[in-house]
Structure 1
Amino acid sequence: MATSLEGSYDSLAPFDWPAARKPLQTWYRVFGDLSSSVTPLVCIHGGPGFCHNYLLNHRALTDTHSIPVIFYDQIGSGLSTRLPETASTTDFPDFWTVEIFHEQLRQLLAHLKIEGRYDILGHSWGGMMGSHFAHLRPTGLRRLILANAAASKARSIANRNRFRERLPQEMQDVLDRVEKENAWSSEEAGVVMTEFAKRHACTMFPFPEDVMASIRVSGEDTTVCDAIGDALDGNPFKSSGYMGSWTIEGKAKTIEVPTLVINGIDEYASGDAVKPFLDEIPDVRLVTIEGTTHSPHFEKKEEYMKVVGEFLTAP
């Protein structure tokens, strides 16, 4: 069952990014009262190129703690302005970097009039982007949650390849053949990667409807994922371009706000993937939720929301 949208509202905020060569809009949804004295939480979805739906169950924080929670779709994704024309790196060189996502967030905070005080929860790529945003010491950021986010793309890819080697040999053989033939869109690749996702992305299967909604919508336009190099020619075990070299290592030490790192077991952000956060951020704590992978907010929702709610409401 999809998360109820009752008690929320959605709208569009203008986003000015001259390099896009056209007007842009950020779609967002708000649960709770932004005029209350409770610090609002901005949820940043993963991808790049995914969309907000799979994070909607964080509305539970509004229900249990009266925390206003804001969801939005990153530019190029979901219900925000899509930019298929930017797939050409010749016409739009260096368009897709973390800076466009930072500026979109800054303008959304200003539009909602919460730039003076807010918290951030970033999941997966959203946490990677959020950690980079936080290291710039933005005014108004009070607390930061990095949920299932790796400190570098290389560390995330290393985990993926380690997990690949644990698959049954017949599945590894399929992936080896698919990789050699560059046939990542084939049916047999899809079957194996679904099994891979069931083991390391979300153990709940069939996947929750909120997840399926994000998968369906993100599949409509893969410009961001492709242009930023999240997967090399569709290969989820390799990365290229901007994403291939992305890291917060050496920079996380300038994150000044209290930070909560959450991860699972045998997921893309497990083990050493979060070590730079723990080594560098001055005020940081790690919570690894046993029995979960990349989606603890579904797999152990009650425990996860309790950890998040207590962190956000602590004195």
Structure 2
Amino acid sequence: MLTCYYGIKGRNLTIQLPWRDLPYMVVGDISNTSRTPLVALHGGPGLLQSSIFPLSDLASFPSPIPVIFYDQIGNAHSTHLDDKPESFWTIDFFIDELTLLISMDTRGAVCLLLSSPFTKDTPASRKLQHQALMRCMQSIPEEVQLVLKKQGGKIDTSNKEYNKAAAYFCKQFGTRYADPMLEALAYSLRHEDHLVVLNAMLKGKINSDWDVTDKLHLIRVLTLLLNEKYNFIGDELCSTFFCNINKVKWVQFAQSSHVPHWEERERYMEVVKSFLVE
């Protein structure tokens, strides 16, 4: 079924499994192209595909690259499993879901991982991420710091005081400009679904001890590393990837904070396209 969602025209499909459904959207023609399709993974964990819709631009270039979006399990249009214990939500489970999607419809697609407006730029260590976050916290007003620290890292959208403080922080380190199209990103953040998955993952597999630094050398393919000048996760975290991955290209977006695919959309797409067609 062809639909138009936030101005993005795509074909909506669903992989039906015995106990859950995996809906996804294809933008562009994956059956008649010389380009390998790109599967775009939203972050969070627990956000929505709408948060990364600008990647659909790749399908409209003169040499189009088809893009496949999907809502990971537990979010938006996928099957919700709010009653599952924290132990259910594992990294391997999400990898299996991605593998299933690729095997069904995408001809060995390339994958691009985009983390959410809370965890990007995909730090290799939660400890390093926390240190970077604390440095940024010290640069904002003390009263805002106190509200955020009082939450202990827990997201509570029902708390007006917290929402105001979080909005201030995000304005500095999340997205630094307003644009009508950012409603697609705001829509993703407003969904309460993501809190179930996010909080379960942070308490479980991606806890304070999570660290994959010693596994980065196992990445043997050419890797594109992206970060932003004003992101709360700075160069020191990205350097962990740069120094430990054998083949890596590092690009920084000088005018962006956390969502360069919105903030510097045109340059972002050119960088990604250039990397994919190399």
**TM-score, with length taken from structure 2:** 0.88
Contact kept in structure 2, 1:124 and 1:148, CA below 8 Å: yes
Equivalent residues, number: 267
Check if 1:300 corresponds to 2:274.
Answer: no
Which of 50, 54, 68 does residue 53 from structure 1 map onto?
Answer: 50
- One-letter amino acid of the structure 2 residue matched with residue 202 of structure 1: T
Question: 1:5 is matched with which residue?
Answer: 8
Question: 2:273 is matched with which residue?
Answer: 309
Question: 2:101 is matched with which residue?
Answer: 108
Distance change (3 Å), C-alpha of 1:113 and 1:119: closer
Q: CA deviation at 1:199?
A: 0.8
Check if 1:243 corresponds to 2:194.
Answer: no
Question: 2:231 is matched with which residue?
Answer: 267
Q: Distance in 2 between matches of 1:195 and 1:166?
A: 12
Check if 1:162 corresponds to 2:160.
Answer: no
- One-letter amino acid of the structure 2 residue matched with residue 282 of structure 1: N
Contact kept in structure 2, 1:45 and 1:123, CA below 8 Å: yes
Which of 88, 92, 98 does residue 99 from structure 1 map onto?
Answer: 92
Unaligned runs of 5+ in 1: 16-21, 129-146, 230-239
Distance change (3 Å), C-alpha of 1:269 and 1:120: farther
Contact kept in structure 2, 1:151 and 1:275, CA below 8 Å: no
Matches within 5 A, 1:152-301: 152-176=125-149, 178-179=150-151, 184=156, 185-205=158-178, 208-217=182-191, 219-220=192-193, 222-229=195-202, 240-244=203-207, 245-301=209-265
Q: CA deviation at 1:113?
A: 4.5
Distance change (3 Å), C-alpha of 1:289 and 1:53: same
Distance change (3 Å), C-alpha of 1:125 and 1:242: farther
Check if 1:62 corresponds to 2:59.
Answer: yes
Distance change (3 Å), C-alpha of 1:297 and 1:113: closer
Q: Distance in 1 between matches of 2:273 and 2:27?
A: 15
**TM-score, with length taken from structure 1:** 0.78
Q: Distance in 2 between matches of 1:183 and 1:271?
A: 26
Contact kept in structure 2, 1:265 and 1:289, CA below 8 Å: yes
Equivalent residue of 1:11, what SS?
A: strand
**Residues 242-272 of structure 1: CA deviation (Å, up to 9, x unaligned):** 2113332111111111110011023143222
Equivalent residue of 1:34, what SS?
A: coil
- One-letter amino acid of the structure 2 residue matched with residue 107 of structure 1: L
Equivalent residue of 1:124, what SS?
A: coil
Unaligned runs of 5+ in 2: none
Question: 2:37 is matched with which residue?
Answer: 40
**Residues 71-118 of structure 1: CA deviation (Å, up to 9, x unaligned):** 1111111111110111x34xxxx211100000000011111142xx32
- One-letter amino acid of the structure 1 residue matched with residue 98 of structure 2: L
Check if 1:123 corresponds to 2:114.
Answer: yes
- One-letter amino acid of the structure 2 residue matched with residue 47 of structure 1: G
Identity of aligned residues (%): 29
